[in-house]
Structure 1
Amino acid sequence: MAQIDEMRLVVRVARMYYEWDMKQAAIAKQLGLSQPTVSRLLQQAKDMGIIRISVSVPQGVYTDLEEQLVKRFRLRDAIVVDCSGESDERFIERQIGAAAAYYLESALRPNEVVGISSWSATLLALVDAMHPAPRKGDVRVVQILGGVGSPSAEA
């Protein structure tokens, strides 16, 4: 196959996949190619710069910083909450509480134990932000440090 014909095929496969949202199997069938060949052509298109993928991160989302924190401190996950320009402590607590509630609701698995070390205004904001949900197995919440604190304690 001539180089220009190969280039046309690479571009055609790339457009079918990325612009027309066709599955690799459908492209392979339509063009009489194997699915591994379609996959190879898509990789070739990336390598040649025909396909360039970019993600537009919305303002207030800090996935780069989260990934840096995960890597640096060997964490399983990290969430950065945008409170820049805010001085209202209650607003900041609610924002952090909402992010923590979302994370806890999505990360909690059946038969897990959640340990609470002390009460704080931020922890209370987490509880306030949680949504009622069906129980996930035998999830238990336990106190792991000292006496019972006051929910009105400082964050």
Structure 2
Amino acid sequence: MTDAEHTRLLVEVSTDYYLDGLSKVEIAKNRGISRFQVARLLTEARDAGIVRIEIAAPAHLDAGRARRLAERLGAQEVVIVPGADDRDTTREALARELARVMAARVSSGATVGVSWSRTIEAAVRTLGTLPPCDVVQLVGALPVHGSGNSLELIQRFTTMAGVRTWPVWSPLLVGDPATARGMRQQPEIAAALDRADALDLAVVSIGSWNATGSTVYPQVTEAERRAATEAGAVGECSGRLFDTRGRAVVTPLDARVVGVTLDQLVRTPDVVAIGYGTEAAAGLRGAVLGGIATVLVMDDAAAVELEHLLADPPAGILDHL
């Protein structure tokens, strides 16, 4: 057998096995050789580079992908969770991962700030327990149909031994700035919001500034929505708005919010932010760029869109990456 004929045999046997799915026994029978000869030919084909095997982990299991995203953004860590066919299942998967990330970061004696979203609420339900610590409610209540609110969430922590809570007994959004100022001056609320100046860890949600991405957006007037959009708002965190670079977007809406400020989050050393869906990507990027978030937990759809945004950033964004 010439070298060319032997090489052709290597290609044909490899095609039979790897592409056509024939067993070694079947190949041996078809070609009149032993199965041990087939095995040696397959090994030789791999050694010669005729067969190259590549193992590609699914995107959500690719730790290198998450690490690259974190490095590109300047985040401490990025966690990517596989998405599902429906939002509820995706939210539950994100909640379980958020609970794991949160539990790993809470140390005894820490002061932990917790905002509210449906995902954070679900995460707290699966959290189990925490070391003795202070848990600060970061936002007033914003009831959403079909779920709880921040007041109900903070009460879950009261069942954990050694955990002291600092509630905010107020709506997140009130009717006018004067009422908001009055609420923020109430002793219990003031004490909780003051504690937000010295957080060790915060857990927040990042939403996009539109009707489906933010629980706040549907609660405000069309004039307030338009003013925020025209001012450059792309993301929302605890009722506070920010632009593509994570800079605060201050509109009259801001004065009606009872809750943590973006400045307080920026001063917090460890902020875990959750976001999911394609539309959340711009807000997640802005949150890291502005120092609002240090750790991101997202689904694959958000990760894919974030990768696209980082590959083709708007003018001026590159200066911050």
Normalising by structure 1, we get a TM-score of: 0.46
Normalising by structure 2, we get a TM-score of: 0.24
Higher strand proportion (structure 1 or 2): 2
Give the greater-gyration-radius structure (CA): 2
